[in-house]
Structures are given as C-alpha cells and as structure tokens.
Amino acid sequence: MKLGLAAAFLASLTGIGRVSAGEDALRSVSLRASGIAAYKTLADETLKAFKAGDMATAKKKAKELEKAWDTTGKADLAKKQDLWKEIDTALDGFIDPILKEEKPDPAKVEAGYKDFIAKLNKAA
C-alpha cells in the first residue's frame, strides 16, 4: 500500500473532521464496512506475499494489518468487546507465525488466515 493511500485509509477510519451527530452515525456504519474491507485487503496481500515466498513483503503487510487493526479495530467494535477479542486473537494466529517464526508452516498460516477472515466477517 502506498504511503498516501495508507494515510488516507487511516484518516478515514479514525474519522478525522467534524460532522453532525446524524452524519457521525452514518459514518460509523460505513467506516465499519470500509474498515473490514481494508483489513481483508491487507490480510489478502499478506497471504499472497507469504505464498509467493516474499517474506519481507509478507512481514511488512502483516505489520500494516496489525497497526491498522490496533489503531482502528477497537474503536470500530467499541460496543462489541467480545467480538473484538475474537478477531484480535484470530489476527494474532494469522500474523504471528509470519512475524515471529523463521520458517512458518504454510498450513498454519493458511488456517490462521481463514480463521481471521471468518471472525472478521462476523463484524460485517
């Protein structure tokens, strides 16, 4: 993801700018949907790089995904803390092997990805 795009993504998810209460409610719904799509995109990019054997890019994308989730995920699911925890745990199951293991097991990474996406879909 290019820096400008990443900044725009984070800005849109953090709700920079002033809006009325009605607009704020509408924005929170669309932010959740766009945030989920953005998390899926980053997860897809991470898995694609991993499968291609490009560990440098896989690690970079995994860190971007983790930062995006840590920055905005909790706010997106502020009223659903149990769901946030489920997704957060699944995210760790997906990216931890990529970030922490010298030679991650592809089956473990794929299973972690599928679990993360399944949990993320619960927030949609």
Tracing tokens 């009223």 back to the chain, one arrives at 79
**Residue 53 pLDDT:** 97
For the chain, the domains span: 3-121
Instruction: Choose between 103 and 72: higher pLDDT.
Output: 103
What lies within 8 Å, CB to CB, of 9 at 6+ separation is 1, 38, 68
In terms of Cβ atoms closer than 10 Å to its own Cβ (0-12, 13-18, 19+), residue 50 is buried
Rounded to the nearest integer, the mean pLDDT of the chain is 80
pLDDT tens, residue by residue, 23-78? 443 333 434 556 788 999 999 999 999 999 999 999 999 999 999 998 888 777 87
Task: Examine the pLDDT at 107 and tell me if it is beyond 80.
Answer: yes
Instruction: Tell me what the mean pLDDT of segment 7-17 comes to.
Output: 47
CATH architecture of 3-121: Up-down Bundle (1.20)
